[in-house]
């Protein structure tokens, strides 16, 4: 994923890798970022144990566990995950 970062994070522009060959901004524009611009970017920081907390919560959620088993069975049958789902490090991610 490519992101054109702005000082106000509400104005950030996110582009997928598929956009590289056909997005006009990516074909024409070259952006130089100064350290002043980079230092103004809003950073999001997570606690070190955040992922552990998410994993523990997912194991307690029976509905989520059932959905994970359903998706894993699709993958085991060779059908793969639906388009918006991915699995990484034992966690399921949904992107809409």
Q: CA-CA distance, 35 to 86, in Å (whole number)?
A: 34
52-71: buried (b, 16+ CB within 10 Å) or exposed (e) per residue? Answer: eeeeeeeeeeeeeeeebeeb
pLDDT, mean of each 10-residue run, the chain (96 residues): 74 74 66 72 77 86 86 83 79 78
Contact between 27 and 11 (Cβ < 8 Å): no
Q: By C-alpha distance, which of 61, 58, 83, 80 is closest to 71?
A: 80
Contact between 20 and 26 (Cβ < 8 Å): yes
pLDDT of residue 31: 62
pLDDT of residue 96: 74
pLDDT of residue 45: 74
Q: Is the pTM of this model over 0.95?
A: no
pLDDT of residue 32: 62
């Amino acid at each position: 994923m490519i992101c054109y970062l702005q000082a106000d994070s509400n104005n950030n522009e996110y582009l997928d890798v598929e956009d590289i060959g056909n997005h006009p901004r990516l074909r024409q524009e070259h952006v130089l970022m100064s350290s002043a611009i980079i230092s103004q970017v809003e950073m999001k920081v997570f606690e070190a144990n955040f992922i552990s907390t998410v994993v523990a919560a997912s194991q307690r959620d029976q509905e989520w566990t059932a959905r994970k088993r359903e998706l894993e069975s699709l993958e085991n049958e060779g059908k793969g995950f639906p388009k918006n789902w991915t699995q990484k490090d034992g966690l399921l991610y949904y992107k809409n």
